[in-house]
Amino acid sequence: MSGSRLLIVDDDRTFRLSTAALLRQDGHEVAEAPDGQAAIETLAQERFDLILLDLRMPGLDGIGLVEVLRKWGHDTPILIISGYGTVDTAVDALHTGADDFLTKPVEPDVLSARVEELLERRPTRSKETEARRGGIIGRSPAIRSVLEIVERVAPTDATVLITGETGTGKELVARAIHDQSERAGGPFVAVNCASLAEGLLESELFGHTKGAFTGAVRQRKGLFEAGQGGTILLDEIGDVSAAVQHRLLRVLQERELTPVGAVRPVSVDVRVVAATNKDLRVEMEAGRFRDDLYYRLNVVRIELPPLRARKEDIPLLVEAFHDRVGRRPHAGCSPMAMRLLQAHTWPGNVRELFAALKSAHIRAGDRRIEAQHLPEEVRDSRADGPESDGSERYRRSEPVEDERTAIENALARYGGTRTDAARALGMSRTTLWRKMKEYGIDG
């Protein structure tokens, strides 16, 4: 697969140069990073199809890098190329999430072949995963377990209760359950139970006869009947009235309903998925929610954790956003912007993240998204306090306060060599020069 983008991470400059030359001859685009930290910064803003990684490097070493990347949800394949005497470590790296390894010295033919092999393996893997996931993005343990439950319960007809804060993907998960069930060919009906006045919801859901109430000029079928053979999502189930709760219980118990004003029941074949951002147990204890209904709904429970509890999913969600809006393939985000995105607490969860990216995208246009393109509340998120994610390890070794400090640190580290500093910062030399002028840093 020529035309792929590869990243070589190795502190040995000669090795980097010769390997890059070889792989360019094979038709690939190649970038280089001299150590783990520089690699992270490059990866925060560009996408690669394969990473070639040395194990022994100063600072953040190869294994450390594999750990951080996998924790952050990067699924780019990693080929370890290690020196003599590091086979044990290479095996550790494979356990940590690397895909393959070669030992130095590497025959050019062997390297080319192995690279091709890994590149070819990837697209099928990700396409299959994509289809199975129903658009649910994330590699955090929490999301993995959600995906597992979805896969397990979708084919059954079990009632599912999905809980989670606003914007965590409850509706997305409900659709995934429907799409992966035998009912996929039938309708998926989503009802927001909170958006309709009490009486209206009742007749919307269950239908009514002609003359059932003032204004019921003719008979109407309800949404349950519209969902025959398919799935109904009862969103905001925590907000339904006692009357509706009573009717829902009947549907779940008897698989039949009686339209408002009717005497004879109609049988229904609809799978029920309910969602709420309320704690139904609290509602139940306060006497606002029937406990028998609660237990009928809570057959299978899927809890979606807030985004701040799974920050490692953020880079993947950002990447998915870039894909979706068709941003220039490698415009990406600056390392600083990515750090801010990971530091924010996201009260509106994934919906808020996508909205923030959308506005940043509009401001940045075709250029890379920089810190200043992000909404104010995201830019202020540094005040949110320390985080505990995979980035800590490298953050500790190199505390980066802001862009200015990052630039000063990089220049100091590379003895003022702008080319290397720019590469480590993931910016072009001209950008670095411009920013140095902006911040009044002299080389």
Ligand X SMILES: Nc1ncnc2c1ncn2[C@@H]1O[C@H](COP(=O)(O)OP(=O)(O)OP(=O)(O)O)[C@@H](O)[C@H]1O
Interface residue list for Mg ion (CB under 5 A) = 170-171
169 touches which of Mg ion, ligand X, none (CB within 5 to 8 A by kind)?
A: ligand X
Rounded Cα distance between 203 and 198, Å, is 9
Residues that bind ligand X (CB under 6 A): 135-138, 164, 166-172, 277, 350-351, 354
- Shortest Å distance, C-beta 177 to Mg ion: 14
Smaller CB distance to ligand X: residue 34 or 138? 138
Rounded Cα distance between 195 and 198, Å, is 9
Smaller CB distance to ligand X: residue 4 or 163? 163
Closest CA to 143 of 356, 386, 314, 345: 314
137 touches which of Mg ion, ligand X, none (CB within 5 to 8 A by kind)?
A: ligand X
Per the CB < 8 A criterion, the answer to whether 338 and 44 are in contact is yes
Smaller CB distance to Mg ion: residue 171 or 269? 171
168 touches which of ligand X, Mg ion, none (CB within 5 to 8 A by kind)?
A: ligand X
259 touches which of ligand X, Mg ion, none (CB within 5 to 8 A by kind)?
A: none
Closest CA to 62 of 92, 105, 18, 30: 92
Which secondary-structure segment (H or E) carries 405? Answer: helix 403-413
- Shortest Å distance, C-beta 416 to ligand X: 43
Rounded Cα distance between 89 and 85, Å, is 9
> Which residues are CB-contacts of 385 (< 8 A; sequence separation ≥ 6)?
none
Distances (CA, A) of 170 to 83, 155, 250, 278: 48, 18, 24, 12
Question: How many angstroms from the chain centroid is the CA of residue 65?
Answer: 20
**What's the one-letter identity of residue 110?**
V
1 touches which of ligand X, Mg ion, none (CB within 5 to 8 A by kind)?
A: none
Smaller CB distance to Mg ion: residue 195 or 428? 195
- Shortest Å distance, C-beta 192 to ligand X: 8
- Shortest Å distance, C-beta 137 to Mg ion: 17
Look at strands 256-257 and 50-53 and give their pairing: unpaired
433 touches which of Mg ion, ligand X, none (CB within 5 to 8 A by kind)?
A: none
Smaller CB distance to Mg ion: residue 63 or 176? 176
Nearest residue (beta carbon) to Mg ion: 171
- Shortest Å distance, C-beta 191 to Mg ion: 11
351 touches which of Mg ion, ligand X, none (CB within 5 to 8 A by kind)?
A: ligand X
Which secondary-structure segment (H or E) carries 235? Answer: strand 231-235
Smaller CB distance to ligand X: residue 173 or 337? 173
- Shortest Å distance, C-beta 165 to ligand X: 7
Given the structure tokens 């779940």, which residue do they identify? 252
- Shortest Å distance, C-beta 147 to ligand X: 9
Q: In what order do the strands lie in the sheet with 300-304?
A: 188-192, 231-235, 271-276, 160-164, 300-304
Smaller CB distance to Mg ion: residue 76 or 192? 192
